Amino acid sequence: MLKTERIFQNCLILVVVIYGTGTFAQIGQSIHEHPATDQNSGWKLAVQLWTFKNITFLESLERTASLGLSWVEAYPGQKFSPDDQELIFDHDLPQVYREQVKKRLRKLGLRLINYGVVELTDDEEDCKEIFEFAKDMGIRTIISEPEMDALPMIDSLCHIYDIRVALHNHPKPSRYWNPDTVLKACQGFSNAIGVCGDIGHWMRSGVHPLEAVKKLSGRLATLHLKDLTNFERPSAKDVPVGKGSADIDLLLQELMRQGFSGVFALEHENNWDNNLPYLRTSIENFNHISRNFKEVEWVIMLDRKLTQFMFKKDTWVLEDDKLVAKGGDDIWSKNRFGNFILDLQFRIGSGGNSGVFIRTGDVKEWLHTAIEVQILDSFGKEKPEKFDCGAIFDCLEPSVNAVNKSGEWNRYTITCIDNKIYVVLNGQQVVDMDLNKWTTAHLNPDGTANKFNHAYKDMPREGNIGLQYHGDPVMFRNIKLRSL
């Protein structure tokens, strides 16, 4: 593992240090930006954007975010945006557009971690341009199929830039279709030269993925996660992960045994114009299989039967991947939570009003026993107030107005640790609240009044999580929670 790869991973790890009766939490990115929400530690689930090759790069980011994933693997040559059909995303992208990408990634809570398959030649200056681009964009692994003679120079650049190169296998007769050839190519080089195992292409070459993974133990940096109906070309078709002939359960078990820590980049080369349902099934199957033998850190709160929630019949329904309010009542978590990170996406219509209740002491008396993180169509307001989107309702206004236009999806990350509450909305931290400063009922520290019968320092430090129905259309998706 490269040095900054360890640092990059460690900055995402939550560490809680106990000092007497207080808790000081070093949460790193999750306080100030949206965290990575992979179910399993060390296994990053991404989308290879070739899956969305029929749309533009920026549109692909939106689709990736809609799946609740945190990682992106880009490829060179994708059209950049619907507004500019001539511009493409690759390592020659002008700086002004690179900055646009960084801003969009942060807003959506995505990380661009891999780039490829891109051509690395024996021309060192050409290769440096690609490495410089990767360094600028925060990319950790470049995926390529270079000539073997170029590997000494590429290995050197890996160490100069602290970026890994992973050798990819297109189907036979490509350069690295055979795992034995890849293994031989890696000999004599540092672990900066790794492998991107494309499961589908192995199958198309008649190679069983499980045997390939066993051979390449210690060299795997990332995988293109696919599943096919069979091993025959050209009849083999992509199907959701776990539904084909790749033995995904045995494959993941073997990777667990090896201590693999890296990226699984979903790549679905079928149903090009309507592949989101297949990707959702792949994600669901991947998480279901992996939780059998890998520790779960982020709990996925939305399942098909809404077993994590309690609500009146027909007031809330799950439509595809979206929790939709049908009217009549709020919805509450069955379990109670104290210190946690809650990550979710929401959408409201014009003039819409809703909210997220946290640490609710009594769901029947929620008004005076819950803390509400406000949801409101307050887009465009210059100076946000205590009832605008992102506020701790009636107590603390958001530092900035970060809500999107009505009808667009938004993302919340709400972190509760003892007396501290942090809120990130669409990539911007909008609340840093110390409950202990609210010492008097009906009074905020700035002297303004609030409606609550209890001082917020005395509010419950554990309780149910709720989603509010306020009479307006509202929906939620990708609700995930990590207990601290």
pLDDT tens across 427-458, in order? 999 999 999 999 999 999 999 999 999 999 99
CA distance 119 to 158: 15
**319: pLDDT strictly greater than 50:** yes
For the chain, the helix, strand and coil percentages under 3-state DSSP, each to the nearest 5:
25, 30, 45
CA distance 230 to 239: 10
Q: How many residues does the chain have?
A: 484
CA distance 150 to 120: 8
CA distance 31 to 252: 31
**322: pLDDT strictly greater than 70:** yes
Q: Which amino acid is at 434?
A: D
What is the distance of C-alpha 20 from the center of its chain?
34
Q: Tally the C-alpha atoms within 13 A of residue 392's C-alpha that lie toward its C-beta.
A: 25
**88: pLDDT strictly greater than 60:** yes
What is the predicted pLDDT for the residue at 328? 84
Pair of tokens at residue 286: 């991947």
Per CATH, the homologous superfamily of domain 38-297 is Divalent-metal-dependent TIM barrel enzymes (3.20.20.150)
Q: Tally the C-alpha atoms within 13 A of residue 312's C-alpha that lie toward its C-beta.
A: 11
- What are the beta bridge partners of residue 465? none
* CB atoms inside a 10 Å sphere around CB 108: 21
Q: State the sign of the Cα–Cα–Cα–Cα dihedral 377, 383, 387, 392.
A: positive
Q: CATH 2.40.160.20: does it fit domain 309-483? A: no
- pLDDT cut 70: percent of the chain above it: 94
How does residue 85 score in pLDDT terms, banded at 50, 70 and 90? confident
pLDDT, tens digit, for every residue of 41-66?
899 999 999 999 999 999 999 999 99
CA angle 217, 223, 224 (to 5 degrees): 150
CA distance 379 to 273: 32
How does residue 19 score in pLDDT terms, banded at 50, 70 and 90? very low
The H or E element that residue 81 is part of is: strand 78-81
What is the predicted pLDDT for the residue at 341? 97
pLDDT, tens digit, for every residue of 274-304?
999 999 999 999 999 999 989 899 999 999 9
Report pTM.
0.93
What is the predicted pLDDT for the residue at 17? 36
What is the predicted pLDDT for the residue at 9? 42
Please say whether the beta carbons of 342 and 465 come within 8 A: yes
| All structural domains of the chain with their residue ranges | 38-297, 309-483
Q: Give every CB contact of residue 125 below 8 A, 6+ residues apart in sequence.
A: none
* CB atoms inside a 10 Å sphere around CB 19: 7
Stretch 246-264: mean pLDDT, rounded? 97
pLDDT, tens digit, for every residue of 207-237?
999 999 999 999 999 999 999 999 988 899 9
What is the predicted pLDDT for the residue at 30? 63
- Before 474, cis peptide (omega within 30)? no
* CB atoms inside a 10 Å sphere around CB 260: 19
CA distance 250 to 54: 33
pLDDT, tens digit, for every residue of 395-427?
999 999 999 999 999 999 999 999 999 999 999
CA distance 362 to 148: 66
Q: What does the mean pLDDT of the chain come to? A: 93
Nearest to 295 by CA among 67, 38, 7: 38
DSSP labels, 296-342: B-SEE---TT-TTEE--TTSEEEETTEEEE-SS--EEEEEEESSEEE
pLDDT, tens digit, for every residue of 373-398?
999 999 999 999 999 999 999 999 99
